[in-house]
Structure 1
């Protein structure tokens, strides 16, 4: 077999190209490795930062919960303090009202004490006058007993004196109130009530006689009719003058002709 003849022209060598290609591949491999290492490092760095952030966020959440709990406790405490303050204000208002009521009661008590003191003073004055008048009354009693003994006349218990109404034609009020006047004082004969005896000296300050006059004054178409016994003119002058001047009460008088129990049955209508 015939051998191929060598070409007269020289062949191209591929070695330089292969060397350059190998270098490029090595450089690219190195670049890829470096890039991957950089990315891995960056990825590891971000993960750590995220962990720190997550930890910090967790701390913030816990702190927020704690603050909210403290705020809630403060609100509850504030509500309790508001309730306590309102209760305190209510107690202060109640205390003020009680203090005012106590002050008013104190004034009433002082006023009542003053009125009672005045009554006591009037009673003392009336007692002194009665004591001063007692010897005169006793003397009058002794004189009458002596006169009875001298005349040998015994008192008649049931010897009543019938009082007749004034004659027809006089202006007589519809409502008559009677007061007996005798030597020792007056006897208030108020219908439906017990008789009240007042000495002559006690007439100006006697509260019962004042109440009686006010009752007559408050009754329409009324008058006091004084039944004057033979020795009762002094007590009549005191009682009638006081009734007319101080209480402005209309009054008149009828004489009692003799001693004995007064009978007013003729005035019954």
Structure 2
């Protein structure tokens, strides 16, 4: 008899009704990112399509501002989140983000290099509150990096192939970088913030976060924008990432209890997908060769 190649899910503990409902909520939040739809409702035009058609100079400005915003967020995540106390309700963070968006809406693209890092740090603190509420220890570098990872998870474009851009696919792309970065910080402290692995992490997150920033800029560039429009757009912006963070940290909490494989299988079942097949030995090839 051939040895079993993968752990069996039959012996995995059943989720409690509350945890199963929490996972259902997480699937809803993570499988249907809704920022483009919210911005389209505000602007009255399909901002996702407009975002892809932005001029090269605007795209370059977005890329630069996105990287600066994530660099600032990473420093906050690693230096101040572990020691921070509760910093306010989700509504407070949304209000602060709306205020920064009002400034950005008033001054347009020129304000993006200043406004986006401020908004990003505000969103990070809101994400950290959600992480702590789901049992994360932000003194653990991996948990702090998971807060920044949310900006990549919330930056998946709805029109791309789900197999390549889905929640677990995005986590898989970042997993090795997050693990290596967390190990570096745990072993050597924060003296190596410019280490290549952290630069790589920021670049990977920025590539996805930039998609959403492009949609935000596209919405702010439409005639409805201005101070009031900018505030509403930023409110939707942070609301989107808080939803993604809630789903992400629910999944992480349940993984700590039931194991990653069991939660992935149940997640896929709830989402209406077949889980990936377990690896198996290719007996056909060996028979042919013999």
TM-score, scaled to structure 1:
0.24
Higher strand share: 1
Q: Which has the larger radius of gyration?
A: 1
TM-score, scaled to structure 2:
0.23
